[in-house]
Structure 1
């Protein structure tokens, strides 16, 4: 249970509701204490009992930081009420049919209260209700039939239960006209019974993020034939079962899987979604995308692959099956290079984002095929140079935006062709500004901090020992590293051999000296013994 203070400030939302009705003439003769009334809007704070003498013409009634129970037919006199809010209070009990006899009530908000149980009859009599918000209460169970009388409900938010929310068969009975259902932050853990979602015949958007989901059973969404958006973000799904979307969700257009440790693209599961247009795989620990990963979703238009830190190459083959793709997100990965023809079949692509990566090189033909690109984001990478004419495949217009900022540019001969080409083609239009204006040199030292535009073309030069074609720079660097490694290895081997030979020679000489010393000592001891032997023989 969250701690609450007795005196809570009126929220900005309700202040806005109050102010926006000031222009309406008041029809209420008396405004209760602890309340503010204006026109058809009434806002009450810190009530300990439910007042009964508001104007019958009240259309919008809001209680904050109040402490009372709600009995049956509590609002039966408010026949004009369209919006009722009871929030940030100590409401612990709501009786059956508490909101009945409010024939035009359209929006009911019960949020940040302390009731733990809502019986099946609480919402009876609210057939005209279209929006219901149950946010951050202590409810841990949705009994069957709880929403049985809400045939007109189109939008429901049931989020932030402090304990694991228990769903059962027919929990959503009666919601055949519901279009949006949000069940975020309810610690569901698993979804293992498709009948839980039975009866949601017109549901188009199902939002269930932050639920610690570890498993979803096959066919879980089989009753949701009208579903267009499914949000499974911020859960603990390590994989998606191949039949999770069985027998198929042909109308699903948006699938959000961000921040699940999937490791791989769930190819077989995606094959059940032929109409998918938006796929969010941000931060799913994907490192390698198989060539056939997206063949089952040919109509995809947007894909987010940001924040997959193990991805170090562009999945060219897989992406080139997506001929209708318009937006591609590849930022915050470990991509190091854009190879030639990396996006050759993506002629519909208009937005490409590759920033905050390890990108060091771009092939001169890397952007071939991107005829309709409008936004190209290559900022915050490790680019030091760019080949001349790299932007030639792009149809540059006044709306084209190219961002190359925050790269460690080396303003030398490696960049000269790029500068020449850009100034030649864009100098007479505003496109030059979008491509190069404001770019700063990181090296050489004499140009550090200077703008590209402030340096004459002829000054983009290299020392004689530094010349190398831009396309072969990485290969030359690699060859040099290999040569240095070989040389160092040979030198180390020779030194170790010499040390070994010297050590052997010194050891042999030492042994010889020791042997000679021992022999001499033996001889000195042997001489007296021989003399004594001779005397003994003579005797």
Structure 2
């Protein structure tokens, strides 16, 4: 039994940090990642109840006598695989029953639901039943979910809500209705099936409390997320990478993001940055505009103010049209020689600038 418990713990941590955290960038955010290929095959070994009595996982490099139930528990965190919404409570209760009873948890620090089947493909009100007010961080990934009922996360104590690779068609105004003041981070990643619509006031319920926002869903226009009153005064980290902005960005698109310190816009098909688009971001420390389709750039993107000397700017892998005009603008914006700003560009452009 001791050996089995030890092996389960090893499997859990391998799954958590290898399968689900493979590509996190610690320099930016603990929830910014690139999806792992073939992740289903990596977790199948711990969820296939029809497997043989003794199973060996080539990927995990471990063998065990009997496969665990849907949920694995380590301390006060649970990772659950391949179940159904109506079984969430029983899966958690079973994991509690076979764990060390000395580890009593009144609150679940983290609940991960991987490949769970939800009724009517919808995350509905009360989907966690008796655990609805006992979960701090909720993670729902690679499930059949196409919709989230208004108020589905209400009455809880969620600190972070992470939704990854679902099948959401839209994100409605009331998705965070009745949410508690505990919520500080929203992370939505959906690259295989782009979200078709995000309603204009979708952040209204959390506009005075949200600190981290990740929207990576193939979105074509982000104005309906950031361009409504009032200013989001606590929002310090924003990741809008892996969207499809093209030439849709306007001067006031990010005008409400006045407190942002880290801003990621990479891999979003951006063709043009209009004047003054970053002018209100006086606390900006990190800006990533890499892996887009920018040909040129102007110092007017920051308005009339001089950008701070300690800002780190990533601008590599664009389609820069390297000429004297761009060279002048780049030197004006980044002061490459005179300040500590960091600019990453293509090798050909480095040669043009003599760096």
On the 8 A contact 2:198/2:224 being kept in 1, the answer is: no
Is 1:209 the counterpart of 2:119? The answer is no
**Aligned-pair CA distance for 1:204:** 2.8
* 1:263 maps to which of 150, 156, 169: 169
Q: Equivalent residue of 2:332, what SS?
A: helix
Q: Please state if 1:345 is matched with 2:256.
A: yes
- 2:266 is equivalent to residue 366 of structure 1: no
Asked if residue 219 in structure 1 is aligned to residue 126 in structure 2, the reply is: yes
Residue of structure 2 aligned with 1:293, choices 202, 209, 217: 202
Q: CA–CA distance in 1 between the matches of 2:88 and 2:330?
A: 62
CA gap of 1:215–1:196, structure 2 versus 1, over 3 A, is: farther
- 2:76 is aligned to 179
- Relative distance call for 1:406 and 1:314 in structure 2 (3 A) is same
Q: Which has the higher contact order (CA 8 A, sep 6+)?
A: 2
The counterpart of 2:84, out of the listed 183, 189, 203, is 189
Tell me what 1:396 maps to: 308
**Cα distance in 2 between the residues matched to 1:341 and 1:256:** 28
Alpha-carbon offset, residue 108 of structure 1? 4.7
- Give CA deviations for 1:154-203 in whole Å, capped at 9, x if unaligned: xxxxxxx98995x9xxxx9xx9x9732221x2x21333786876897422
> Structure 1 residues 304 and 420, CA, compared in 2 at 3 Å: closer, same or farther?
closer
Cα deviation, 1:185-231, whole Å, max 9, x if unaligned, reads 2x213337868768974223211112344344531335332321011
Corresponding residue for residue 489 of structure 1: none
Aligned to 2:354: 454
Does residue 281 (structure 1) correspond to residue 192 (structure 2)? The answer is no
One of 377, 384, 387 as aligned partner of 2:298: 387
Q: What residue ranges of structure 2 are gaps of 5+ in the alignment?
A: 12-44, 51-65, 97-104
Change (3 A) 1:380 1:196: closer
Matched, 1:330 2:245: no
Aligned to 1:375: 286
Counterpart for residue 18 of structure 2:
none
CA distance in 2, matches of 1:350, 1:394: 16
State the shift of 1:109 in Å: 4.2
Separation (CA, whole Å) in 1 of partners of 2:137 and 2:158: 6
User: Which runs of 5 or more structure 1 residues have no equivalent in the other structure?
Assistant: 1-69, 71-83, 87-106, 114-134, 141-160, 442-448, 456-539
Measure the CA separation in 2 of the matches of 1:382 and 1:268. 35
The equivalent of 2:137 in structure 1 is 229
8 Å Cα contact 1:204/1:227 also seen in 2: yes
Distance 1:111 1:203 in 2: 17
Q: Following TM superposition, by how much is the alpha carbon of 1:427 offset from its aligned partner in structure 2, in angstroms?
A: 3.7
Counterpart selection for 2:213 from 303, 313, 327? 303
Shift in CA distance, 196/267, structure 1 to aligned 2, threshold 3 Å: farther
Aligned length: 286
Q: Is the Cα contact below 8 Å between 1:372 and 1:395 reproduced in 2?
A: no
* 2:286 and 2:312 in contact (8 A); partners too: yes
Q: How many angstroms does 1:314 deviate by?
A: 2.5
Cα distance, 1:375 vs. partner?
Answer: 1.0
1:409 aligns with 2:306: no
Contact 2:260–2:283 (CA<8 Å) still a contact in 1? yes
Residue 136 of structure 1, aligned match among 46, 50, 64: 46
CA distance in 2 between counterparts of 1:350 and 1:389 reads: 19
Inter-CA distance 261–405: structure 2 relative to 1 (3 Å threshold)? same
Residue 428, structure 1, aligned to residue 338, structure 2: yes
Name whichever structure is richer in strand by fraction.
2
Q: Distance in 1 between matches of 2:9 and 2:331?
A: 62
**CA positional deviation for 1:244:** 2.8
Change beyond 3 A, Cα 1:289–1:384: same
1:252 Cα deviation (Å)?
Answer: 0.8
**TM-score w.r.t. length of structure 1:** 0.46
Cα separation, partners in 2 of 1:223 and 1:178, compared to 1, 3 Å:
farther
Matches within 5 A, 1:21-36: none
